[in-house]
Amino acid sequence: MQHIEQLLSALPEHDLTFLGSAPYVYHCHHFNLFHDQTVEDALGEDEAFSVRAQAAHDASRQLLSELVKSAGAETPAERLELAAATLPWMGHGKLELMTDAGGGRARGSYLHYGFTWREKYGSRVRRRHPADAFAAGYAAAATEVAFSLAPGSLRATEPACFACREPACEIEITEGGGHSDASLVDKEAFTQHVAAPAEGVEEAAVAKIAAGLKDFLRGLDGDERGLLQGFGVYVTRHLANYYDQTAYDTIHRVEKERPQVAGVVESLFGESGHVCVFYTFGGILASPEWEALVGPLRGEPEEIVVGCTAIARGLGFGHWTIGELVPGERLVMRSTSNYEAPFYRNRYGRSEKPRCYFFSNAARAFMQLAHKVDWSKRPRLDDALYQSLFKSDLAWDIEMTRCQTRGDALTEVVVTRHGS
Amino acid sequence: MSTDYLAQAARDVPSLRAVFVTAMPDCLLYDSWLAEGSEWKAEEIASYLGDLFRANREGLKALGSWSTEMQVSIESPEYNILLKELRSDFVLACVFDRDAALGMARLYTQRMLQRIAAALPSFQVEERPRGVRVMDFLNRYAPDPHAVLLRVSLRTGLPMEQLQRPEALALDHIAQIEKTAAGILGLESLNI
């Protein structure tokens, strides 16, 4: 994928990564499914599909517009081919686009959301509504870009989905999506809402591990299905604006329409931070690649927190630092940049309260992994262990003491032992 | 948990790994006997087997072929499991090693059933409030059980404090929660 790789750039001192001007991060299928499930729980399945597809459409259009320009793709056929080839690079599966300026169809195989939903939950629950809103929004954006249509000319639905036990995913693209008036949150906008990078505890170790991880992740190759597998999870190179737009639009709507459960939706988006740290960070810590990069894991709390901080940077989550760590008692995590705050400030302005949900809950999960997992026994990071750690034995409270969404210079969360 | 009457009933039964007595209709463990060294979680297993038995009973009723003599046999790669109704309010589940002949397992199960039935107390079963049963069902079967209460709260708009006391829920709230639970589980309706 020479063309997409030419678009790769970074703000290395801020540990942020971009595809052209679009910020991207690595997230696993456990996080992705939980995140989207929360949007569905909050808005209902149909409305959630629209919100997710719209966010995917906006974010993908930003990426694909720049991609066709940079690749010099002139004709619709060239552009559609480029879009179809980019999706597997992102780990989202394969999409065959059969569209013209009036819309058309797309056939998906191994689409990340539908495929991994069925793999994770399919034996326990029957799904009755489609899962691939991201691919649908992507297909609509790809067609708009291919035929030089105005933003919002097209919309997409998914009448058949693999997650609903259909043999394949079918996406329909039709006219009349309506114009999205969302402002673009790009690299330039991100730079306006990050602070000068600071150093934290064990800075040299964190920076060294993060650099090694970035190198490793850059070389991660998709398989013949268009999926990226690593560390026991399906990984995506995902557009950060998709996460931010879906999360914050959902939270704002709940705050406005059903304020009595506003705290609940915040908790659930925070919970996805636990899910991510447990499966992806945990999977990386327990991997042979980690052992090769850093050495055998001893399992001491300092080592785990340092490792997790480096992983966050490696995944493109921003410049996270350890402000203070007292094993068994307290962790202060800071970020001078992350992927939540710049989006929020650009899109919605200054928040009245802290809103870096992912960052703050991830920090709590660092402490849980550092103190409640016996790494020397090489535990299986499965659902049963997750339930025991995060349902019944969560030992830490968090307080967001500073937050860039609120206009503070940096974002800070204090994690303390429950009840202390 | 294992009381004398269960240990006595299980004594000298070849290839027997466990006995569970499940109280119906709530599918809660009443009593159990586990072979030495077993690490099975009796509460969990008794609940799942109780649910299985109840679904089987309802299915047969729908077919018009249910009787109290009904028996469920499960042949897994490692075990033969037999489920039989002790009384309308109790179900017996016996787990044998796979090498036990099914005919012998049935014979021993029948013998144990008579002994255990004679030792069971007689009382009027009090059904738990429906709200409690719905929440228990969800906790058992919903994906991501760590988040299920939050999910129900978000979907229904009912505050967490209310959901944490399911025994005190109003009827219309219970109906709302049942509908939500069915949605989370991908079912048309809950059959509990």
Query: What's the gap in Å between the CA of B49 and the closest CA on chain A?
Result: 16
- Hey, are the CB atoms on A42 and B159 less than 8 Å from each other? no
pLDDT of A3 above 90: no
Give the per-residue pLDDT at A127.
Answer: 94
Q: How many domains does chain A have?
A: 2
Residue A77: domain span: 21-175
pLDDT tens digits, residue range A224-255? 999 999 888 999 999 999 999 999 999 999 99
Do B154 and A261 count as a contact with CB atoms less than 8 A apart?
A: yes
For residues A160 and A201, membership in a common domain is answered with no
pLDDT of A19-35, one tens digit each? 999 999 999 999 999 99
Which of B155, B160, B186 comes nearest A127 by C-beta? B186
Can you tell me the ipTM of this complex? 0.93
CB-based contact B153 A261, cutoff 8 Å: yes
User: What Å distances lie between residue A287 and A70, A294, A375, A385, A386, CA to CA?
Assistant: 36, 11, 12, 17, 18
A391 close to B (CB below 8 A): yes
Distance CA(A221)–CA(A235), nearest Å, equals 11
Interface of B with A in 136-155 (CB under 8 A): 141-147, 150-151, 153-155
CA distance A127 to chain B (A): 6
- Are A141 and A152 contacting, i.e. CB atoms less than 8 angstroms apart? no
Closest CA to A322 of A419, A200, A144: A200
* Chain A residue numbers touching B143 (CB-CB < 8 A): 120-121, 124-125
**Closest-approach residue (CA) in chain A for B149:** A264
pLDDT band, very low/low/confident/very high, at A188 (cuts 50, 70, 90):
very high
> CB distance B184–A125 less than 8 Å?
yes
Do A165 and A284 lie in one domain? The reply is no
Q: What mean pLDDT is predicted for residues A174-179?
A: 81
Mutate to test the interface with B, among A31, A40, A261, A392 (most CBs of B within 10 A): A261
User: Which one of B150, B158, B188 would you mutate to disrupt binding with A, by most A Cβ within 10 Å of its Cβ?
Assistant: B150
| Chain B nearest-CA residue for A259 | B157
Q: Are B42 and B20 in contact (CB under 8 A)?
A: yes
One domain for residues A367 and A266: yes
B39 contacts in A (CB within 8 Å)?
none
Handedness of CA A382, A274, A260, A246 (dihedral sign): negative
Verify whether the Cβ–Cβ distance B145 to A387 is below 8 Å. Answer: yes
- Cβ <8 Å between B186 and A387: no
The answer on A132 and A203 residing in a single domain is no
Query: How far apart are the CA of A283 and the nearest CA of chain B, in angstroms?
Result: 19
* Chain A / chain B CB contacts < 8 angstroms: 50
- The DSSP secondary-structure symbol of A279 reads I
- Minimal Cβ distance to A261: which of B144, B157, B185: B157
Compare all CA atoms of chain B with the CA of A387 and give the residue at the minimum distance.
Answer: B146
- Residue A13 within a domain: no
- Give the residue from A150, A175, A200 where a domain finishes: A175
pLDDT class of A119 with cuts at 50, 70, 90: very high
Mean pLDDT of chain A: 95
Band the pLDDT of A180: cuts 50, 70, 90: low
Angle subtended at Cα A65 by Cα A61 and Cα A71, rounded to the nearest 5 degrees: 140
- Check B154 against A254: CB less than 8 A apart: yes
pLDDT of residue B95: 96
Beta strands of A196-343 (E only): which ranges?
A: 228-230, 233-239, 320-326, 330-335
Q: What is the CATH number of domain B4-119?
A: 3.30.450.30
CB-nearest partner of A391 from B145, B151, B184: B145
Burial B81-94 (b: 16+ CB within 10 A, else e): bbbbbbeebbbbbb
DSSP state of B19: E
DSSP character at residue A405: G
Tell me the mean pLDDT per 10 residues along chain B, length 192.
79 93 87 91 91 85 76 91 89 93 90 88 76 91 91 96 94 96 90 75
CB contact set of B36 (below 8 Å; sequence gap of 6+): none
Q: Among candidates B137, B152, B150, which has minimal Cα distance to B184?
A: B152
Q: Are the CB atoms for A39 and A272 separated by under 8 Å?
A: no
Q: Name every chain B residue with its beta carbon within 8 A of the beta carbon of A267.
A: 150
Q: Which of A144, A175, A206 finishes a domain? A: A175
Q: Give me the helices (H) in A315-420, please.
A: 341-348, 357-372, 383-390
Do the Cβ atoms of A235 and A26 come closer than 8 Å? Answer: yes
**Chain B residues in contact with A391 (beta carbon < 8 A):** 145-146
* Confidence (pLDDT) at A303: 97
Residues A204 and A148 in one domain: no
Residues A153 and A208 both lie in one domain: no
Q: Is A197 left (phi over 0), alpha (psi -120 to 50) or beta?
A: beta
Q: Which of A264, A278, A391 to probe the B interface (max B CBs under 10 A)?
A: A264
| Cβ contact A121–B160 (<8 Å) | no
Q: Do B159 and A260 touch (CB under 8 A)?
A: yes
For A264, the closest of B141, B160, B184 (CB atoms) is B160
pLDDT band at A1 (very low <50, low <70, confident <90, very high): confident
The answer as to whether A7 is a domain residue is no
Q: Do A130 and A235 fall within a single domain?
A: no
The pLDDT score that the predictor gives to residue B125 is 65
Instruction: List Cα–Cα distances, A210 to A16, A230, A271, A370, B109, in angstroms.
Output: 12, 17, 24, 18, 61
Structure confidence by residue, pLDDT tens digits, A333-342: 999 999 999 9
Do the chains contact at B154 and A386, CB–CB below 8 Å? no
* Distance separating alpha carbons of residues B68 and B48, to the nearest angstrom: 20
pLDDT in tens, A69-116: 999 999 999 999 999 999 999 999 999 999 999 999 999 999 999 999
Distance from CA of A181 to the nearest CA of B (A): 28
Residue A44 banded pLDDT, cuts 50, 70, 90: very high
- From A128, A149, A175, the end of a domain falls on A175
Q: Which residues of B touch A390 (CB under 8 A)?
A: 146
A-chain residue closest to B187, CA distance: A126
Whether A390 is in a domain gets the answer yes
8 Å CB contact of A267 and B146: no
Q: Are residues A217 and A275 in the same domain?
A: yes
Which residues in chain B have Cβ-Cβ distances shorter than 8 Å to A277?
A: none
Angle at A392 between CA A388 and CA A393, to 5 degrees: 80
Specify whether A53 is located in the same domain as A101: yes
CA closest to A386 among chain B residues: B146
Min Cα separation A233/chain B (Å): 17
Torsion over CA of A208, A209, A212 and A217, rounded to 10 degrees?
A: -140
Which residue from A34, A41, A126 is facing B186, i.e. has the nearest CB?
A126
